[in-house]
Amino acid sequence: MAPKKEPQKLVANNKKAYHDYFIDEAYEAGVVLHGTEVKSLRMGKCSIKESFIRIENGEMFVYGMHISPYEKGNIFNKDPLRAKKLLLHRAEINKLAGKVAEKGFTLVPLQVYFKDGRAKVEVGLARGKKLYDKRQDIAKKDQRRELEREFKVRNV
């Protein structure tokens, strides 16, 4: 019998990325963490709102990903805002580096989660939205909310 798969446990979600960017592709990357950072992540103490990803010397790093220090970690705690290395296959990193070199593309972390006990970051290849695109999205969201409200009133 195959081992039972553990469902993905979401730790942090970057709603701001979906508001500010069009997400073209998404990749799953592992993260290099230290012991107390993993414990803090398991408690859900992570923020990726202001974070971004850079490719340097053929390696990917996430900057601005805040993992709060673990309370019982004392001297083993690392800097909460230190750059964390992302683990992807070389071919994927090279492909993303080529896309980012194109005008208008950037890499943003979309979510942090645990999959089979390992911390993962979903990396999105994104294009920036203009102000009118954001306004259109807000208008669509308002319209959908109104329709749901009307539907709810009719069914009650």
Domain-wise residue ranges, the chain:
9-129
Mean pLDDT of the chain: 83
Asked if pLDDT for residue 30 goes beyond 60, the answer is: yes
Asked if pLDDT for residue 156 goes beyond 80, the answer is: no
Of 140, 124, 139, the closest CA to residue 14 belongs to 124
Instruction: Name the token pair of 62.
Output: 């996430």
The CATH-assigned architecture of domain 9-129 is: Beta Barrel (2.40)
What confidence tier does 46 reach under pLDDT thresholds 50, 70, 90? Answer: confident
Asked if pLDDT for residue 61 goes beyond 80, the answer is: yes
- pTM here is 0.75
Residues in Cβ contact with 72 at an 8 Å cutoff, skipping those fewer than 6 apart: none
Averaged pLDDT, 80-90: 86
What confidence tier does 154 reach under pLDDT thresholds 50, 70, 90? Answer: confident
Averaged pLDDT, 39-56: 86
User: CA-to-CA distance for 83 and 86, rounded, in angstroms?
Assistant: 10
